[in-house]
Amino acid sequence: MIDIDFSDPEPERKPDPPAPRPAAPKPQQPRPSPRQVPLDKIDKWTPSERQLPPPRAEIITTGSFVGRTPPHSMEAEEYLISCCLLDGSDTIAKCIDGHLSPAAFYFPPNRIIFEKLVEMHLSKKPAGIEILIEELREAHQLDAVGGVPYLIQVSSRIGTTVQAQYFIAKVRQLYQIREAIKIATSTVEQCFGWDGQDDAFLGNAQQQFASLAQLNGVKRPDPVGLFDFELPPDGDRSILVGNRYLNRGDGGVLVGTSGIGKSSIEKQMAALWALNRNAFGMQSNGPLTSLMVQAEDSPGDIAEVATSLRFGLNLSESDAKLVNQRVRIHTDRKNRGEKFLLNLRHLIEDHRPDLVWINPLQAFMDGDVTQAADLGKFLREGLNGINDPPAFGYILVHHTTKPATGKDRAERLWHEVMYDMAGGAEIINWARFIMSLRPAVDKGNFNLVLAKRGMRAGVTKRVEAGAGWRDEPVDTIPLKHSKSLIEIPGRKRKLPAIFWELRDADPPPVEDHSEAPRKGREVTESFAVYRPFFPKPGQPAADLNTIQKAANGTKPISRGKLYEAIQGWISMGLVLFIPATGQSGTAMYTLAPFAELPKEKAQVRTPEPELPEEATDNLPFG
């Protein structure tokens, strides 16, 4: 470790000159104080530089560089302070924009002066020497910087600010070199004292060096005019998937219940996009390379998925080789938070992927997934910080939280024993897209719901249009688990294929919807009346409280009755259940795509009229 001595070094005194011959005595005139004398007259009695108290300097007292003075330039520091005093606040603003801190000044008097100038600038005080003197005097720091004489000397070092930017860069560069010496020397000492166990100091040193390098790249924010933005051309490589469904610099979330097959579907999508094939209708913009960081699957699990992909995608040897080159998997089961981010940065620098998959989010995030501050630190400061400038896209795999339970939910569908998506709203805000892998009614069937910006994914289905057909955009992809068995040479038992296949969409709801979603429960409320209070497909989903609040203004209903009615409408295919992502962890709902109003038979109780148009003008989901 380095010890820095901030004590005042003993000044080197020159021999006193011979005493002059005494002159005739003159009447003594009292010397005016600086407050009484105009500043342009003070230089008449300013002491010479030799007579000023020497500034304290940092001297290395231990380690390999003992007795050596780190690189510095007193002249550059004084010139820069002089520029700050010349043009008011312009140079100080440039220093702040360049992240030049008081610590960058080697000489403590200059450090104190610059810190006070920045404080004056931020307080909207003029950066004049007269005000500076008074500010330092009030802070009892005037003597510490050498008094008024030293301030007058520094202020007169230069007569123009033309070279201010040069001096800013020079002071910053010398500061970086001094800090690099400290970091490197400290690291050397720790290397020699390494106990063979904890090597975290290596990561700390790298982070410190990275922070130093970032000082050179700081730029002042420059907002762009509204009409200066341009549409990306066809084939723009900044687009990764679909019609800007995922771009470089963006992140998406794939969410589903535990054990549903998120790990296998992510690998299947990565393999298809590596070959520039569409994944369940989502087309990549050219072949994409993937870096997959995971914490849950064993080598055997990954091998089974890889074998299934060879079989299910019918890959040739050349295709399999390409996928192997373009999809790389790293298992990390111990690092979280800062350590994980540091390792991730290394992996990205080494492999330069187009897509970075993180599976699962909560294995690597060090904090509370329901807290916006913790999410923001990991997602925005951490992940986005690594991806600046934009070079790739993230896809996070996320688990769900437990669904609401109660006495009235003793009998649940098979998929309800899993979880509903957990986390604060910051996950939704951060994500460019959200895919929700949801079980359908029949076991083994699923729907991949493109819950956020789904129409940009480019998925379509063919529907009749007159005498022909047309492609209609959809945001729900019906999927199923493969039931194939794979013969493995040298093994007696066949391997069940872990592979996702497209299936036919669920049939539309039948006319008689009186069958309740739970035993003994009937749908007693008219969907026609409450339909306007649900978000439309493509709009953000709403929770039960929001829907009830919107409905109470026109058609009041209790929370319990509304909940029971929604369960019935879900079974009819009229309402979609969206995994909960709000901070409260509650379920979310939206209208099902292409859902039609139920016919008269669907109303188990007395039919209720449609709301008049004027009654729906102020509803939240239009």
Q: CB of 81 within 8 A of CB of 120?
A: no
Q: What Cα–Cα distance (Å) separates residue 245 from each residue in 21, 86, 447, 515?
A: 91, 52, 19, 39
Q: What is the pLDDT of residue 273?
A: 97
Q: Is residue 267 part of a domain?
A: yes
Q: Which has the higher per-residue pLDDT, 214 or 46?
A: 214
The pLDDT, as a whole number, for residue 58 is 53
Total residues belonging to the chain: 622
pLDDT (mean) for 150-162: 85
The fraction of the chain above a pLDDT of 90, given in percent, is: 39
424 lies in the same domain as 557? no
Q: With contact defined as beta carbons under 8 Å apart, do 112 and 103 qualify?
A: no
Residue 476: the pLDDT is 93
Is 98 strand, coil or helix?
Answer: coil
Q: In which band, very low, low, confident or very high, does the pLDDT at 20 lie, cut at 50, 70 and 90?
A: low
Q: Is residue 315 part of a domain?
A: yes
468 and 531 within one domain: no
For position 15, what pLDDT does the model report?
56
349-374 mean pLDDT: 93
Residue identified by tokens 């106990």 is: 195
Which has more confidence, 51 or 314?
Answer: 314
Residues 6+ apart with CB under 8 A from 422: 369, 370, 398, 399, 400, 401, 580, 581, 585
Which is more confidently placed, 51 or 158?
158
pLDDT at 305: 97
Region 165-184: what's the mean pLDDT? 88
- 302 within domain boundaries: yes
Q: Are residues 119 and 268 in the same domain?
A: no
d(CA 279, CA 268): 8
Q: Which of 309, 361, 298 is nearest to 331 (CA)?
A: 298
Rounded CA gap, 397 and 263, in Å?
8
Phi and psi for 599 in degrees, rounded to 5? -75, 180
* Average pLDDT of span 215-236: 81
- Give the model's confidence band at 40: pLDDT under 50 very low, under 70 low, under 90 confident, else very high: very low
Task: Indicate if 308 and 433 belong to the same structural domain.
Answer: yes
Alpha carbon distance 172, 96 (integer Å): 12
What's the domain range around 532?
527-616
Q: Across 61-70, 108-117, 423-432, which has the greatest mean pLDDT?
A: 108-117
pLDDT-derived band at 197, boundaries 50, 70, 90: confident
**Which of 500, 519, 539 is a domain's end point?**
500
* Mean of the per-residue pLDDT values of the chain: 79
546 within some domain? yes
Report how far residue 351's alpha carbon sits from residue 392's, in angstroms, rounded to the nearest whole number: 11
Contact 470, 289 (CB under 8 A): no
User: 598 and 460 share a domain?
Assistant: no
One domain, residues 568 and 469: no
- Is the model more confident about 176 or about 584? 176
Note whether residue 145 is domain-resident: yes
Question: Which of these ranges, 86-90, 114-118, 211-215, 297-301, has the smallest mean pLDDT?
Answer: 211-215
Read off the pLDDT band of 281 (50, 70, 90): very high
Prediction pTM value: 0.55
Asked if residue 18 is part of any domain, the answer here is no
- The CATH number of whichever domain residue 351 belongs to comes to 3.40.50.300
Instruction: For residues 487 and 547, state if they share a domain.
Output: no
Please indicate, yes or no, whether residues 282 and 422 belong to a single structural domain of this protein. Answer: yes
Last residue of a domain, one of 482, 500, 518: 500
Per-residue confidence (pLDDT) for residue 458, from 0 to 100: 94
pLDDT at position 523: 52
410 and 324 inside one domain: yes
DSSP state of 578: E
CB 509 within 8 A of CB 598: yes
Confidence of residue 218 (pLDDT cuts 50, 70, 90): low
Decide if pLDDT at 270 tops 60. Answer: yes
Average pLDDT over residues 326-351: 94
Q: Is 395 a member of any domain?
A: yes
User: What's the pLDDT score for residue 376?
Assistant: 92
Residue 350 DSSP SS3: helix
Clarify whether residues 495 and 568 are in a common domain: no
The SS3 assignment for 527 reads: helix
CATH number at residue 97: 1.10.860.10
Please state the domain count of the chain: 3
| Mean pLDDT of all residues in 364-389 | 92
Span 379-417, pLDDT tens digits: 999 999 999 889 999 999 998 765 545 434 434 443 333
Residues 600 and 488 in one domain: no
Query: Stretch 494-499: mean pLDDT, rounded?
Result: 94
d(CA 118, CA 85): 11
pLDDT confidence tier of residue 23, bands split at 50, 70 and 90: low
Q: For residues 348-364, b (16+ Cβ closer than 10 Å) or e, as one string?
A: beeeebbbbbbbbbbbb
Q: Above 70 in pLDDT, residue 603? A: no
Q: What is the pLDDT of residue 422?
A: 63
3-state helix, strand, coil in the chain (%, to 5): 40, 15, 45
Domain boundary among 185, 219, 237: 185
Tokens, residue 414: 């098979």
- Give yes or no: residues 401 and 485 share one domain: yes
Q: How much is the pLDDT for 380?
A: 94
What does the pLDDT read at residue 569? 83
What single DSSP character describes residue 217? G
Q: Categorize the per-residue pLDDT at 341 as very low, low, confident or very high, splitting at 50, 70 and 90.
A: very high
Q: Is residue 234 part of a domain?
A: no
